[in-house]
Amino acid sequence: MLLSAGTPASAMRLSVAGAVLLAAAAYYVYLPLPSGVSEPWKLMLLDALFRSFIQASDVVQKLGFCHSIHMLNRVVSWVEMIEARSCPAVHVTDSMLGGVPTRIFQPKAGRKLKRGVIYFHGGGWALASGKMRSYDLLCRKMAEDLDAVIMSVDYRLAPEAVFPSQYHDALAASRAFLSLEVLQRHSIDPERVCVSGDSAGGNLAAAVAQQLGSDDSTTVKFKAQALIYPVLQALDFYTPSYQQNQAMPFLYRPYMARFWLQYLGADSSLVPVLLANNHSSLDQPDISSATRSKLNWTALLPAERREHFRPVVKARGSPGTVRNVPGLMDVRAAPLLAEQEVLGKTPKAYVVTCEFDVLRDDGLMYARRLRDAGVDVTNDHHEDGFHGCMVFANLPMMSSVGQRSKDSYIRWLDQNL
């Protein structure tokens, strides 16, 4: 079933990618990885491939040919983009949802009234697409296993589009998704709709769930929010998970700072400022103690996560950073900064976290704050997981923790939506 989505051409592309992967591995012989991580040798090989692409695209940018993100997206589309093709069980089409391009997965048979999921892909608000093979396969499987209509949204990407454009696209598509017209056209039960996404897409899903939870003008509400290793804050780059996993593939700590600055339309020369926590030093008058308490991990994380780490709070930093980059403090960009009342109006939540992920504590703190606000939360923590594992569940990587996390995500949706 799943294999029917591949074509000889895409198989060839995969083999070429495999060959490049082997060649790349020859240059990056060894990467020290923690012993607990799932299938470290696979991670090492794929990481070597990614690092070589990222370095090559940085060189291309320095030579003035094109932006590194465009180069990366071109490589990704060449390897991964697939057409909208239906299979025996699921009708697949590319369409618009609230003015935003969206791939729609509609089961052909099954119940008359279906469940619905709107999905936002990851990629640092800059990379990837719902039309990529990995996301296409994920949504296809969800449609089939859950007998649900899945809408995978291609919101605009950085560097052309910056905050709040991605957020606005996600919100516009969600409002359209929840409209009676769209629900009726796709035979979706208004009582059983979910917002979901991974990584930067989990950020957008959380932000949309907050906005629509507190918006009294929408009659249809999300029943659930399913956030897969979401990114939720940019004020502390020294959470225990940022400290522990700073050199873990595929999301190195400096990459996350770079993605944030790019999303917020700020200059990448500020990366060292963020990595020093100089932007959230105590001499920044714009960050109140109420704001700080929302991401105070010494209070929000359980003791076993804190014991080997110390907070890094600078007394003096780089004044004015937060004023120059207001998105750092904008709850629509950083959903962890929401007020408790706002969190309390969001739907039942599923939060995936991975042990070997810089964003692990973003997710754990959010799960804790949602619970404190009275929301029913399931935190699915993968002890051997790494950032992005779910999109590596298919060939060529066939990640074991990727497959397990995907199965338990779909199982939670089945039992809770």
Ligand X SMILES: *[C@@H]1O[C@H](CO)[C@@H](O)[C@H](O)[C@H]1NC(C)=O
- Catalytic residue numbers, as ranges: 199, 357, 387
Rule CB under 6 A: which of 334-373 touch ligand X? none
Interface pick for ligand X out of 317, 335, 388, 402 (rule CB under 6 A): 317
When asked if residue 321 is in the footprint of ligand X (CB under 6 A), the reply is no
- Contacts of 379 by beta carbon, 8 Å cutoff, 6+ apart: 351, 353, 363, 364, 367
Q: Between residues 272 and 396, which has the closer beta carbon with respect to ligand X? A: 272
When asked if residue 273 is in the footprint of ligand X (CB under 6 A), the reply is yes
* Maximal C-alpha separation, the chain: 62
Q: Between residues 29 and 290, which has the closer beta carbon with respect to ligand X? A: 290
When asked if residue 288 is in the footprint of ligand X (CB under 6 A), the reply is no
Total number of residues that touch ligand X (CB under 6 A):
13
Q: Between residues 264 and 273, which has the closer beta carbon with respect to ligand X? A: 273
Structure tokens at 396: 């060529």
Q: Under a CB-based contact definition with an 8 Å cutoff, are residues 50 and 252 in contact?
A: no
Interface pick for ligand X out of 67, 156, 292, 306 (rule CB under 6 A): 292
**Least separation, in Å, of the C-beta of 336 and ligand X?**
14
Q: Between residues 15 and 298, which has the closer beta carbon with respect to ligand X? A: 298
| Window contacting ligand X (CB under 6 A); options: 47-55, 219-227, 228-236, 311-319 | 311-319
Q: Under a CB-based contact definition with an 8 Å cutoff, are residues 329 and 291 in contact?
A: yes
Interface pick for ligand X out of 85, 108, 111, 316 (rule CB under 6 A): 316
- Contacts of 396 by beta carbon, 8 Å cutoff, 6+ apart: 14, 17, 18, 21
When asked if residue 323 is in the footprint of ligand X (CB under 6 A), the reply is no
| Window contacting ligand X (CB under 6 A); options: 5-13, 166-174, 220-228, 314-322 | 314-322
Interface pick for ligand X out of 7, 15, 95, 293 (rule CB under 6 A): 293
**Least separation, in Å, of the C-beta of 321 and ligand X?**
9
**Least separation, in Å, of the C-beta of 35 and ligand X?**
32
When asked if residue 278 is in the footprint of ligand X (CB under 6 A), the reply is yes
Q: Between residues 105 and 242, which has the closer beta carbon with respect to ligand X? A: 242
Full 3-state SS string of the chain: CHHHHCCHHHHHHHHHHHHHHHHHHHHCCCCCCCCCCCCHHHHHHHHHHHHHHHHHHHHHHHCCCCCHHHHHHHHHHHHHECCCCCCCCEEEEEEEECCEEEEEEEECCCCCCEEEEEEECCCCCCCCCCCEHHHHHHHHHHHHHHCEEEEEECCCCCCCCCCCHHHHHHHHHHHHHCCHHHHHHCCEEEEEEEEEEECHHHHHHHHHHHHHHCCCCCCCCCCEEEEECCCCCCCCCCCHHHHHCCCCCCCCHHHHHHHHHHHCCCCHHHHHHHHCCHHHCCCCCCCCHHHHHCCCHHHHCCHHHHCCCCCCCCCCCCCCHHHHCHHHHCCCCCHHHCCHHHHHCCCEEEEEEEEECCCHHHHHHHHHHHHHCCCCEEEEEEEEEECCHHHHCCCCCCCHHHHHHHHHHHHHHHHHC
| Window contacting ligand X (CB under 6 A); options: 59-67, 152-160, 269-277, 322-330 | 269-277
* Site mask for ligand X (CB under 6 A), range 56-75, x = bound: --------------------
The closest alpha carbon to 275, from 295, 255, 294, belongs to: 255
When asked if residue 298 is in the footprint of ligand X (CB under 6 A), the reply is yes
**Least separation, in Å, of the C-beta of 298 and ligand X?**
5
Q: Between residues 207 and 364, which has the closer beta carbon with respect to ligand X? A: 364
**Least separation, in Å, of the C-beta of 299 and ligand X?**
4
When asked if residue 276 is in the footprint of ligand X (CB under 6 A), the reply is yes
When asked if residue 306 is in the footprint of ligand X (CB under 6 A), the reply is no
**Least separation, in Å, of the C-beta of 374 and ligand X?**
21
Q: Between residues 57 and 284, which has the closer beta carbon with respect to ligand X? A: 284
| Window contacting ligand X (CB under 6 A); options: 21-29, 214-222, 286-294, 339-347 | 286-294
Q: Under a CB-based contact definition with an 8 Å cutoff, are residues 342 and 206 in contact?
A: no
Structure tokens at 37: 């991580």
Q: Between residues 70 and 306, which has the closer beta carbon with respect to ligand X? A: 306
| Window contacting ligand X (CB under 6 A); options: 40-48, 100-108, 205-213, 290-298 | 290-298
Site for ligand X, rule CB under 6 A: 272-273, 276, 278, 289, 292-293, 296, 298-299, 316-318
